[in-house]
Chains A and B, each alone.
Chain A
């Protein structure tokens, strides 16, 4: 199942990602009007918001794949979760970076301990610890199981981050579904939808790419294990990625 999904995504996602990315950038820089209160800096939102959604999707995939791994013990699900966390962290870092740049323009500070920012940072740290665990516990047969539990804990944190602007007092702007404004011009909405298409297809594309890498590394471990069992000397080259 994962094999065919990976192949299908690698075939389709670039066809969607490349034109939508280009169209989205053209729309953001040359087509959408500037926001009246936030000015030019509001253009950061067009990729900041879909990047956040992209990392939530990736962390969701990681959580579900980890549940499947704990139930079935199949390595494929573990690879799927690991790849999703890896890609999710790239997009989460983009969210933190682009958000900080915007905050410096709008608030005059790179960071503030706002509820949305703090819950997001906690999410980033949970999944950063997942990647550290995968790196330092490589070769330990219990590592995938511990990592799966960590990914589920992180994925459970996602809804809290998403609802932080509604649950707690915050200065973080609510871009979507904001009764007091936000993105309301039709061109802004179209540019945002285009950015969503671009970023979500990029998430899937990179996930499939990373999954292919992890599965290849797993296959090498198996082949080298077979060689070792057959009495062949192990080659000097490392199989780790």
Chain B
């Protein structure tokens, strides 16, 4: 085996720590985005559904119907 390919360089401890911290930062921001997006999506969908229901009820309650 070629000596140069047999030697695998162990990552420095500092790099490993930085990578772990980067995973944590990424995880935190992913959590924030999922929560905010899910909330905004749910509120928008519910508002749209309720607005349609209001239109329906107001149409039905107009005089002459």
Q: Is the interface of A mostly helix, strand, loop or mixed?
A: helix
Report the bound CA distance from A47 to B63 in whole Å.
53
Contact in complex: B28, A223 (CB < 8 Å): no
Contact in complex: B47, A209 (CB < 8 Å): yes
The distance from the CB of A241 to the nearest CB of chain B, in whole angstroms, is 4
Using known A-B contacts A40-B22, A212-B47, determine if residue A206 contacts B39 with beta carbons closer than 8 Å.
yes
**B49: nearest residue on chain A (CB-CB)?**
A241
Contact in complex: B24, A104 (CB < 8 Å): yes
Contact in complex: A101, B24 (CB < 8 Å): yes
B10 interface hit (Cβ, 8 Å):
no
The residues of A that contact B32 with a CB separation of less than 8 Å are: 47, 51, 94, 97-98
The distance from the CB of B10 to the nearest CB of chain A, in whole angstroms, is 20
Report the bound CA distance from A43 to B32 in whole Å.
13
**Residues in A72-102 with C-beta less than 8 Å from chain B:** 87, 90, 93-94, 97-98, 101-102
Contact in complex: A102, B24 (CB < 8 Å): yes
Report the bound CA distance from A39 to B17 in whole Å.
9
Contact flags B39-65 to A (C-beta < 8 A → 1, else 0) = 110011011011101100110110000
Using known A-B contacts A47-B29, A105-B24, A237-B53, determine if residue A40 contacts B60 with beta carbons closer than 8 Å.
no
Using known A-B contacts A39-B21, A90-B35, determine if residue A213 contacts B27 with beta carbons closer than 8 Å.
no
Using known A-B contacts A40-B25, A41-B25, A105-B21, determine if residue A217 contacts B50 with beta carbons closer than 8 Å.
yes
Contact in complex: B25, A223 (CB < 8 Å): no
A220 interface hit (Cβ, 8 Å):
yes
Contact in complex: B31, A97 (CB < 8 Å): yes
Contact in complex: B24, A41 (CB < 8 Å): yes
Q: Is the interface of B mostly helix, strand, loop or mixed?
A: helix
**Residues in A164-215 with C-beta less than 8 Å from chain B:** 202, 206, 209-210, 212-213
A227 interface hit (Cβ, 8 Å):
yes
B35 is contacted by which of A39, A94, A237 (Cβ under 8 Å)? Answer: A94
Q: Which 4 residue pairs are nearest across A and B when measured between Cβ atoms?
A: A216-B50, A40-B21, A223-B57, A98-B28
15 interchain pairs (CB within 8 A)?
Answer: A44-B25, A94-B32, A94-B35, A94-B36, A97-B28, A97-B31, A98-B31, A101-B31, A206-B39, A206-B40, A209-B43, A209-B44, A216-B50, A220-B50, A220-B54
16 more contacts with CB within 8 A, not counting A43-B25, A47-B28, A105-B20, are A41-B21, A41-B25, A94-B31, A94-B35, A97-B32, A97-B35, A98-B28, A101-B27, A105-B21, A206-B40, A210-B43, A212-B47, A220-B53, A223-B57, A226-B61, A227-B57
The interface of chain A, by Cβ under 8 A from chain B, is 25, 39-41, 43-44, 47-48, 51, 87, 90, 93-94, 97-98, 101-102, 104-105, 202, 206, 209-210, 212-213, 216-217, 219-220, 223-224, 226-227, 230, 232, 237, 239, 241
